[in-house]
Amino acid sequence: MATNSDSNVNKAVNVSELIAKNKKKKSINNYMEKLVPTILFLLASITVLTTIGILYTLISEAVHFFMEVPILDFFTGTELKPLSQNPEFGILPLLNGTIISSLIAILVAGPIGLMSAIFLSEYASDKVRRIIKPLLEILAGIPTIVYGFFAFTFVTPLIRTFWPQLEATNILSPGLVMGIMIIPMIASLSEDAMTSVPNGIREGSLAMGTTKLETTVKVVIPAAFSGIIASFVLAISRAIGETMIVTIASGSSKNFSFDITESMQTMTAFIVEVSGGEAPAGSTLHYSLYAVALTLFVFTMIMNLLAKYVSRKFREEY
């Protein structure tokens, strides 16, 4: 009887310990459940706080520039002569160079990237896709300074053999090379968007007697249009923000011209020139760096908002 009594007591103790452990474990789990969302929120807030910090820095420094240079003269001026005796700070030459180089890049990368995405998504076999896609994406891993010297030492001399009017530094060569650089971005993201379109839609279209090309153009691309637009926007933003290629190959001439054979300077190249030069801290030239950077930030943001509007307007739900 004593043995049975001791056994029952031990069982009761073990049950009590298990209950206590379960309560403790449950308490820890409840604590972690409350803690994890807070940690995730703080981590997610880093990007927002970083953006706010960048904006604050740009605006606070740009204010000093606009106290010395009228904002209307800055955005409408066609002359940029920051080091002359009578300095002028018109941003149109830089804006013009940025837009022209980006347009050349997207004219090169857009058709090639989209056609590559169509081939990989709709026509290539799995074996071919596994070979071509990694090779295509190798372009994205090449340092931009290599692209810059490639544009300056190979592309420009090559073009000058049949276009002698092309200057040694020009906006055409960096635009073409930037286009090559952003092809993988358009191809990869567009291919992902088209691959995500359900096969049932393709099969339904083919069952109605359409060809594969018609299905691709009239069904798959419209269904993946929002993703394709996103790939183009990211590629254009990448081209606009490119620094090393244009710094090396496009020169530093601040010309307000539409002649692609001439040397031009982009906003990013100007920022590199000023930040790497001898602009005295607190000078108008020094503050002009932040004014140009703020313009670049706003320009990119407006473009992204416009792209979101277009993407939302033409998105098709399946």
Contacts of 168 (CB under 8 A, 6+ apart): 156, 251, 263
Angle between helices 284-314 and 267-276 (to 10 degrees): 150
DSSP 218: I
The percentage of residues in the chain with a pLDDT greater than 90, rounded to a whole number, is 8
**Which residues partner with 81 through β-bridges?**
88
Whether residue 276 has pLDDT greater than 70 = yes
Cα of 148 vs its chain's centroid, Å: 19
Query: Stretch 261-272: mean pLDDT, rounded?
Result: 86
Cβ pair 275, 304 in contact under 8 A? no
Query: Stretch 108-123: mean pLDDT, rounded?
Result: 89
**Per-domain residue ranges of the chain:** 2-68, 80-313
- Closest by CA to 250, choosing from 136, 75, 102, 78, is 102
Whether residue 24 has pLDDT greater than 70 = no
Cβ pair 180, 110 in contact under 8 A? no
The percentage of residues in the chain with a pLDDT greater than 70, rounded to a whole number, is 87
Quick: pLDDT tens for 206-243.
Answer: 788 778 888 888 888 888 888 888 888 888 888 888 88
Whether residue 314 has pLDDT greater than 80 = no
Whether residue 28 has pLDDT greater than 70 = no
Torsions phi, psi of 80, nearest 5?
A: -130, 100
Instruction: Specify the pLDDT at position 277.
Output: 67
Whether residue 261 has pLDDT greater than 90 = no
Whether residue 159 has pLDDT greater than 60 = yes
Whether residue 91 has pLDDT greater than 90 = no
Q: Please provide the CATH number assigned to the domain covering 80-313.
A: 1.10.3720.10
What's the chain's average pLDDT?
82
Instruction: Specify the pLDDT at position 218.
Output: 84
Question: Residue 12 — pLDDT band, cuts 50, 70, 90?
Answer: low
The residue ranking higher by pLDDT, 306 or 31, is: 306
- Rounded CA-CA distance 219/206 in Å is 10
Instruction: Specify the pLDDT at position 318.
Output: 47
Question: Residue 18 — pLDDT band, cuts 50, 70, 90?
Answer: low
The residue ranking higher by pLDDT, 300 or 29, is: 300
Whether residue 43 has pLDDT greater than 90 = no
- Angle at CA of residue 190, ends 184 and 193, nearest 5°: 140
Instruction: Specify the pLDDT at position 242.
Output: 85
Quick: pLDDT tens for 176-192.
Answer: 999 999 998 898 888 88
- Rounded CA-CA distance 257/239 in Å is 20
